[in-house]
């Protein structure tokens, strides 16, 4: 039985290796790799995670290598609600592209003398934080080859869009239910806008997130690229909770590629001929 398992995995590895070599760059390689239309896997993804993870990483590197010249060293700004995975996905994406990763909240904290965002909110108020956030985005937008994870509310202020438009903006669209479950699981100590009284963490997080999203959804829609985790999960026949940062990063690159193809030329960034 063990020999049969090894033989099956070896055959699958060879098939997927060949698939990656011949796949045209214009195709949606991610969906085709994981979907059941071209390749029929005998075991579910979650039961053979190491095999899928290996090819996810290979595919991410392949896509990043193909796309990098078209980016002209421009920054990528990840936007989305708190808990949507901007930091986690951003780190994976930056490593694949050979970019630096910056979390704008951390950038603000460092500029403020290592004071946490929660402390800034508590001591100085949200308006002071938002001003510092805008200053941080202004500074970051003047640099190149960076993946920037922005704060969830950064999209509210028009001036921030002027800064982020110097790069490519990506909205990570995650279902509210998934967001609420993530936040309820890890707590809200570091999230001042979700600092609520005692009660069921999931229900209160869901209610507060719903209110915030209603105010921000139009702003998020201004992003150059939207990555819907609901759609991605449906395409891959998976649950949203099973989408790894690598899978999401691949989809980000797929959608950026589509956006750039629509422009019919490499991204014309203001720093394309400069170094970071």
Q: Among 6-15, 123-132, 203-212, which is the least confidently predicted range?
A: 6-15
For position 114, what pLDDT does the model report? Answer: 86
Domains along the chain with CATH numbers: 73-223 (3.40.50.300)
* pLDDT per position as a tens digit, 157-189: 999 999 999 999 999 999 999 999 998 887 655
Strands (E), the chain: 76-79, 100-103, 146-149, 168-173, 225-228
pTM of the full structure: 0.81
Q: Among 22-31, 121-130, 173-182, which is the least confidently predicted range?
A: 22-31
DSSP secondary structure code for residue 148 in this structure: E
φ/ψ of residue 233, rounded to 5 = -65, -40
For position 179, what pLDDT does the model report? Answer: 94
Mean pLDDT over residues 109-117, rounded? 92
Q: At residue 79, does pLDDT exceed 70?
A: yes
Q: Which residue has the tokens 């698939």?
A: 19
DSSP string, 222-262: TSSEEEEHHHHHHHTT--GGG--HHHHHHHHHHHHHHHHHH
Mean pLDDT over residues 105-115, rounded? 94
Q: Could you give the C-alpha distances from 69 to 65, 188, 260, 263, in angstroms and in order? A: 8, 40, 11, 15
Confidence of residue 19 (pLDDT cuts 50, 70, 90): low
């Amino acid at each position: 039985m063990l020999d049969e398992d090894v033989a099956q995995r070896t055959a699958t590895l060879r098939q997927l290796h060949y698939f990656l070599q011949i796949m045209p760059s214009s195709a949606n390689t991610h969906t085709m790799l994981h979907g059941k239309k071209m390749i029929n896997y005998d075991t579910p993804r979650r039961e053979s995670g190491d095999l899928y993870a290996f090819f996810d990483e290979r595919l991410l590197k392949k896509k990043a290598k193909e796309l990098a010249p078209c980016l002209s060293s421009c920054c990528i700004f990840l936007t989305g609600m708190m808990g949507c995975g901007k930091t986690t996905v951003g780190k994976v994406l930056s490593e694949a592209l050979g970019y630096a990763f910056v979390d704008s909240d951390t950038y603000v904290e460092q500029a403020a003398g290592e004071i946490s965002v929660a402390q800034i909110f508590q001591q100085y108020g949200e308006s002071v934080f938002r001003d510092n956030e805008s200053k941080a985005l202004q500074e970051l937008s003047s640099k190149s080859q960076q993946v920037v994870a922005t704060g969830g509310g950064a999209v509210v202020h028009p001036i921030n869009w002027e800064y982020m438009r110097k790069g490519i903006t990506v909205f990570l669209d995650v279902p509210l239910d998934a967001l609420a479950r993530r936040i309820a699981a890890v707590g809200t100590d570091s999230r001042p806008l979700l600092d609520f009284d005692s009660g069921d963490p999931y229900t209160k997080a869901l209610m507060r997130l719903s209110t915030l999203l209603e105010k921000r959804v139009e702003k998020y829609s201004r992003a150059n690229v939207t990555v819907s985790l609901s759609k991605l999960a449906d395409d891959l026949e998976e649950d949203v909770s099973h989408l790894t940062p690598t899978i999401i990063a691949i989809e980000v690159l797929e959608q950026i590629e589509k956006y750039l193809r629509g422009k019919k030329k490499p991204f014309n960034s203001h720093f394309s001929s400069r170094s970071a």
